[in-house]
Amino acid sequence: MISKSPPLCMYPAGWKLLAMLALVLVIMVWYSISREDRYTELFYFPIAEKEEPCLQGEAERKVSKLFGKINPLHVPALLSPLCSYSRDQPIFLQLKDYFWVKAPSAYELPYGTKGSEDLLLRVLAITSYSIPESIQSLKCCRCVVVGNGHRLRNSSLGDVINKYDMVIRLNNAPVAGYEGDVGSKTTMRLFYPESAHFNPKVENNPDTLLVLVAFKAMDFHWIETILSDKKRVRKGFWKQPPLIWDVNPKQIRILNPFFMEIAADKLLSLPMQQPRKMKQKPTTGLVAITLALHLCDVVHIAGFGYPDAHNRKQTIHYYEQITLKSMAGSGHNVSQEALAIKRMLGMGAVRNLTYF
């Protein structure tokens, strides 16, 4: 006859071991919940340790379903009218496209350059439009758009972000001191005058492209006075932009308003011509995602999303203590943008490193 030993739980030591295991499990569950329930959020796609393959043209194929047909009237006249979303659109504006054209655009800023051509010409004469050869030569380009959201805090995503071919950042979001969560690599930084309160040589790499997203004609005036060291402009801004900005003009690029236009038209269904008191417009973040979908083969995002409207004390940025209240009067509909991003996530046009 074969005798069977009693189960481990029959011994006093066994009970103690099971109790310890249960305690560890409870602590792990509590810790997970305390970190903002990040594993239960929708549209959270953690990237595996092994780098996923880069499929050439993947973003273009998926985004064409999202943007569909584009009204040729919405495309700046200096560009070839197209019937569908296309990568043939230039990323940055360049002098040769404006020098001999008197009426290159059907819309005023931010969706066109109508009425701002003289200012723009002077800016394009002292800036550049090229894309780095290191990016152009890639057979397949993997990009990450790093948002400024609170969700990046304590994310430990820095090393993951640094591995992308292109890292696109927004406005005055700092890198120094936050490298563990947001990385240290910056390929492009989109900004506008009021958001240019950062040290270009501290928060960027030496070869970072600083991409001006122009919302109004005064934005061109400001960048010209900065780069040409002319008398500074102090009026016409909702917040005083920097009066001194130590930057190399050859790092400056002027974003094609086409990307603002399709972000507004195709993602937010905003009219191109609005009453002056209305003036809704996409955020720089949504424009950056639109740009990445045009330029890159694989697009991931991190740090996007705002707190719920009822959560008034939750900070919206990883680097400062401002709340959703600061967005009042900005002309940005963050709820509508959240739906647009969820559509892109749901169809796989972009993937998320954090949660949404």
* Domain ranges for the chain: 55-352
Of 187, 178, 204, nearest to 143 by C-alpha is 187
Give the tens place of pLDDT for each residue, 125-166: 999 999 999 999 999 999 999 999 999 999 999 999 999 999
Which pLDDT belongs to residue 42? 43
Which pLDDT belongs to residue 241? 96
Which pLDDT belongs to residue 63? 79
By mean pLDDT, which of 6-10, 40-44, 184-188 is the weakest? Answer: 40-44
- Whether residue 76 is preceded by a cis peptide bond, meaning omega within 30 degrees of 0, is no
Two tokens at 352? 């998320």
Distance CA 190, CA 319 (A): 17
Distance CA 90, CA 105 (A): 14
The answer to whether 256 touches 131, Cβ cutoff 8 Å, is no
Give the tens place of pLDDT for each residue, 89-104: 899 999 988 877 655 6
Give the tens place of pLDDT for each residue, 263-289: 999 999 998 877 666 578 999 999 999
**Backbone torsions φ then ψ of 352, nearest 5 degrees:** -110, 130
Distance CA 243, CA 343 (A): 40
Distance CA 225, CA 217 (A): 13
**Backbone torsions φ then ψ of 99, nearest 5 degrees:** -60, -40
Residue 79 — very low, low, confident or very high, per pLDDT cuts 50/70/90? Answer: very low
Which pLDDT belongs to residue 334? 85
Burial class of residue 3 in the structure, from the number of CB atoms within 10 Å of its CB (0-12 exposed, 13-18 middle, 19+ buried): exposed
Q: Which residue type occupies 297? A: D
Q: 55-352: which CATH number, 3.60.10.10, 3.90.1480.20, 3.40.50.2300, 3.30.56.10?
A: 3.90.1480.20
Give the tens place of pLDDT for each residue, 171-182: 999 999 999 999
Which pLDDT belongs to residue 45? 47
